[in-house]
Amino acid sequence: MDTTTPLLNLINVSKRFGGIHALKGIDFEVRPGEVHALVGENGAGKSTMMKILAGVITDYEGEMRWRGQPVRLKGPRHALDLGIAMIHQELSVMPELTVAENIFLGRQPLKGGVVDWPRMFREAEASLAELGFEHVNVRDTLDHYPLGVHQLVEIARAITSGAQLIIMDEPTSALSPMETHRLLELTRNLVEGGDKSVVYISHFLEEVTWVADRITVLRDGEKITTLKAKNADKQELVRLMLGKETEFFEESYIGAREVEDTHELREPVLTVRGLSKPRAFEDVSFELHAGEILGLYGLIGSGHFELGEALYGLLKPTSGEMVLSGKPLRGNPRRAIDRGVAYVPPSRRSGLFLEKPIYQNISLPWLAHISGFVPSVAKEVKVADEVIHRVGVRPPDPLKEVVFLSGGNQQKVAIARWLVELPKVFVVSEPTRGMDVGAKEEVMHILKEMSAAGVGVLLISSEPETILAAAERILVMAKGRIVEEFVDQQVTKEMLLAAAAGEMVEQPA
């Protein structure tokens, strides 16, 4: 692995967005055949740096070298031609196209000038099989599949492009533990040959230390250090990332927790009975109590996200009932909001108006309450300002457009909206996706505060860490059914996984 010329160098690279100094004089090197991980807090500049490597951002100061030669990328196409492919944090797949088309987007195999469909399907199948994901039919349009598959397709696209440098910006944020595991192994295999390299961004330090050869830590746009992954200690990494000692998320590293239901008054705020929706979930019954955090864990595709949608009126169940404080819950999101149900979708893109200022994102459900027929921008800004300070959006400027925030901070905006008026039931799907440990802890703190104020929180996630960090009671879903309940006992990550996967094994191949 000791080839002398690095595959890629950044020399003294800086990037400003208006007043924000996103990167400050970065030196960075990727050697052939290595997995180089990049870690740092939300907003540290990781995505910005990778966008420079992938030709998405072209105006920066400093120099980039490819195989020792200075280059100035003209755009993403140029980067691809050189052999640099990127898996973006915000997915760039097209849900209306087939899986195969998405994999070969922009480089479909041609025969006599027209797309060679049979060959494209064949090769798409082969590449997914190589990734170990045979359960996906490449002829289906992508919108048939959950977010995890979108993520896989994006990964397959980068890998099959034949690129020498593959940049993965939080590739596992939508993957199940099993899929994550496979991706990590695949990433190792990819670099085994010694000519390909991977830059790997993730907030999961466990993944990072497992997969990477070297780790570079960014903080506030500065490179703190690059160290060998072998020598890296997680506590030490966190200290480097945050620049301070923190007691954080310990549970997620131990991967176990005492689940304890401390509520004397078991007053159900939401009762779900026999709820079914074909192809999504079946015969689901449970109670959510005021003031508790109920974790709903499941692998991607187990129907837990769909259940969340149904509670918010986005999906009409075909049978069963939902009762909120004694009255049936039916209808659309507007009615759900008015009854006191709040919802955060698993993919933040579908919940936010990226091109609009933060305050408009936050005030939209409450316009009628904040002011009358004529919205008062001053009042909206004031309301938004208060809640974004509470969740710690950085920068806390309500007039700023959401697109200018880093991924994690966008997510905080999506949550902050529901602090304007406390709901009775808060359905949150993957609230901490793409967040650093510090921000995760902040979000968990917010959820705990809300539950302390009497809100029933339904925490839906495919990340065992997220569930274990906050839930007081845990339901596990598999193949559309609730298969397990954990209460008043020691729960580990392995127990959750086993419960969620148990059903899957019995399924005929």
Partner 1 sequence: MAQKSAETTKPPSKLRAFLAKSREYAPVWTLLVLFLFFSVYSDSFLTLENMGNILNQVSLLAIMGTGITFVLLTAQIDLSVSYMATFTGVVAAYYTAAHMAQPWPILVALLAAAFLGVINGVGTAWLGIPSFMVTLAMSLIASGLSLWLTHGRIIFDLPPLANILGSGRIFGIKWLVIVAALTLLVGHLILRYTRFGRYVYMTGANPKAAELAGVNTKGIVTAVMVIAAVTAGLAGVVGIGRLGSATPTAFDGMLIDAIGAVVLGGTSLFGGIGGIPQTVIGLLILGVLRNGLDQISVDIYMKTLITGIILLVALVFNIVFAGKKEG
Ligand X SMILES: Nc1ncnc2c1ncn2[C@@H]1O[C@H](COP(=O)(O)OP(=O)(O)OP(=O)(O)O)[C@@H](O)[C@H]1O
Give the list of residues 6+ apart from residue 135 with CB closer than 8 angstroms, or none.
Answer: none
89 contacts Mg ion (rule: CB under 5 A): yes
Give the helix/strand (H/E) hosting 200: strand 197-201
Strands 165-169, 197-201: pairing kind: parallel
Give whichever of 204 and 281 is closer to ligand X, judged by the CB atom. 204
Q: Are 353 and 405 in contact (CB under 8 A)?
A: no
Quickly list H helices, 42-85: 46-53, 76-82
Side-chain-facing half-sphere of 169: CA atoms under 13 Å:
22
375 contacts partner 1 (rule: CB under 8 A): yes
DSSP 357: B
**22 binding partner (options Mg ion, partner 1, ligand X, none; Cβ < 5 to 8 Å by kind):** ligand X
Residue 292 Cα to chain centre, angstroms = 24
**x/- string (CB under 8 A) for partner 1, residues 290-319?**
----------------------x-x-----
**Of positions 275, 296, 405, 446, contacts ligand X by CB under 6 A:** 405
Let me know how long the chain is: 509
Give whichever of 373 and 507 is closer to partner 1, judged by the CB atom. 373
Residue with tokens 């079946």, as numbered in its chain: 282
**Of positions 407, 431, 438, 464, contacts ligand X by CB under 6 A:** 407
Query: In which order are the strands placed within the sheet that holds 69-71?
Result: 20-30, 8-17, 61-66, 69-71
Side-chain-facing half-sphere of 159: CA atoms under 13 Å:
22
Report 31-60 residues binding Mg ion (CB under 5 A).
47
Residue 232 Cα to chain centre, angstroms = 24
20 contacts ligand X (rule: CB under 6 A): yes
The span of 189-197, 199-207, 345-353, 445-453 binding partner 1 (CB under 8 A) equals: 345-353
**334 binding partner (options ligand X, partner 1, Mg ion, none; Cβ < 5 to 8 Å by kind):** partner 1
**132 binding partner (options Mg ion, partner 1, ligand X, none; Cβ < 5 to 8 Å by kind):** none
**Of positions 117, 210, 253, 353, contacts partner 1 by CB under 8 A:** 353
Give whichever of 154 and 380 is closer to partner 1, judged by the CB atom. 380
364 contacts partner 1 (rule: CB under 8 A): yes
Strands 281-289, 293-298: pairing kind: unpaired
Which letter, b or e, does each residue of 198-232 get, where b requires 16 or more Cβ atoms within 10 Å of its Cβ?
bbbbbbbbebbbbbbbbbbbbbebebbeebebeeb
408 contacts ligand X (rule: CB under 6 A): yes
**333 binding partner (options ligand X, Mg ion, partner 1, none; Cβ < 5 to 8 Å by kind):** partner 1
Report the alpha-carbon distance of residue 8 to residue 31 in Å, rounded: 7
404 contacts ligand X (rule: CB under 6 A): yes
Give the list of residues 6+ apart from residue 22 with CB closer than 8 angstroms, or none.
Answer: 15, 16, 45, 48, 221
Which tokens go with 285? 């019954």
**x/- string (CB under 6 A) for ligand X, residues 355-374?**
--------------------
**x/- string (CB under 8 A) for partner 1, residues 189-228?**
----------------------------------------
Give whichever of 222 and 421 is closer to ligand X, judged by the CB atom. 222
Report 233-262 residues binding partner 1 (CB under 8 A).
none
Residue with tokens 């959750």, as numbered in its chain: 496
42 contacts ligand X (rule: CB under 6 A): yes
Closest CA to 379 of 423, 414, 420: 420
**Of positions 43, 45, 308, 407, contacts Mg ion by CB under 5 A:** 407
Instruction: Provide the minimum distance between the beta carbon of 335 and Mg ion in the complex, in angstroms, as a whole number.
Output: 35
350 contacts partner 1 (rule: CB under 8 A): yes
Give whichever of 268 and 365 is closer to partner 1, judged by the CB atom. 365
Give the list of residues 6+ apart from residue 260 with CB closer than 8 angstroms, or none.
Answer: 472, 488
**48 binding partner (options Mg ion, partner 1, ligand X, none; Cβ < 5 to 8 Å by kind):** ligand X
367 contacts partner 1 (rule: CB under 8 A): yes
| Residue of this chain nearest to Mg ion (CB atom) | 47
Strands 319-324, 268-277: pairing kind: antiparallel
171 contacts ligand X (rule: CB under 6 A): no
The span of 43-51, 94-102, 246-254, 463-471 binding ligand X (CB under 6 A) equals: 43-51
**x/- string (CB under 8 A) for partner 1, residues 409-448?**
--------x-------------------------------
C-alpha torsion sign, points 206, 209, 212, 215: positive
Residue 492 Cα to chain centre, angstroms = 22
Residues that bind Mg ion (CB under 5 A): 47, 89, 407
Residues that bind partner 1 (CB under 8 A): 16-20, 56-57, 312, 314, 332-334, 336-338, 343, 345, 350-356, 360, 364-365, 367-368, 373-375, 395, 397, 399-400, 404, 417
